[in-house]
Amino acid sequence: MGPRRSRAHALASPRVEVQRLADGLWRWTTRHPTLEDPVLGTEVGCVYAETNDAVVLIDPLVPVDVNERNRFLDALDRDVKRMQRPVAILLTCAWHRRSADELRERYRATDEPPRGVDAPPVADDEVVLWLPSHRAVVAGDALLGLGDLRRCPDEWLAERGGRELLVAVLEGLVELEPDFVLPSHGDPVVQDATRALAAAAAEPPFE
């Protein structure tokens, strides 16, 4: 079942687009303050996930606009309080730090994945996250949702682990039969995610 957009969810605000993917799994997008890439665009995706052990925020970005920022943080505070669980802030790569330091201090959060969450490396400085309770793959720059789901260009991986490592990790994740693939850049895959991920592993990368 595809995502349902909800204006009622706590994180929603006029310039923050929120998608409810499943119970306890949300993806929000907002404008990056410095990204002006003609291919990747200016909007980036972030993930909020509730697990048995933690509230997980992946590559989080707080909106820049002051009013929007305050609404967002107030709403996130309510969600964290409602869950009464520790907060874990996870990054797919160091350059997606975004608002991680601010939120880590705000919630006294850990940077350790909670029990069950896997973070296989796809390069020497990047991981892909597997959220088994939601059957979701979360990717930073390794996968792009620009058109069809595609692997990143091979040159992005030069001296960082190479194409072979990324393909091997993706093939392993295909065997887990994910329901969602949530890249940072572009559209999430919310239907036929296993098929889309298998195609991304097998077909040529984005150019």
User: Mind listing the pLDDT tens digit of every residue in the chain (207 residues)?
Assistant: 223 233 334 454 447 888 999 999 999 999 998 887 777 888 999 999 999 999 999 999 999 889 989 999 999 999 999 999 999 999 999 999 999 999 999 999 999 999 999 999 999 899 999 999 999 999 999 999 998 999 999 999 877 778 999 999 999 999 999 999 999 999 999 999 999 999 999 999 998
Determine the pLDDT at residue 2. 28
Distances (CA, A) of 92 to 12, 13, 68, 101, 142: 23, 25, 25, 14, 9
Backbone angles phi, psi at 178, to 5 degrees: -70, 150
DSSP string, the chain: ---EE-SSSTT-BTTBEEEEEETTEEEEEEE-SS--BTTTBSEEEEEEEE-SS-EEEES----SSHHHHHHHHHHHHHHHHHHTS-EEEE-SBGGG-TTHHHHHHHHT-B-SPPTT-B--EEETTEE-EEETTTTEEEESSSEEBSSS-EEPPGGGGTTTTHHHHHHHHHHHHHTT--SEEEESSBPPB-SSHHHHHHHHHHSPPP-
Can you give the residue ranges of every domain in the chain?
Answer: 4-202
Q: In terms of C-beta density within 10 A (0-12 exposed, 13-18 middle, 19 or more buried), how is residue 11 classed?
A: buried
CB 89 within 8 A of CB 111: yes
CB 171 within 8 A of CB 164: no
Determine the pLDDT at residue 173. 98
Determine the pLDDT at residue 6. 32
Residues in Cβ contact with 158 at an 8 Å cutoff, skipping those fewer than 6 apart: none
Determine the pLDDT at residue 90. 98
Determine the pLDDT at residue 15. 76
Determine the pLDDT at residue 5. 30
Domain 4-202: state its class: alpha beta
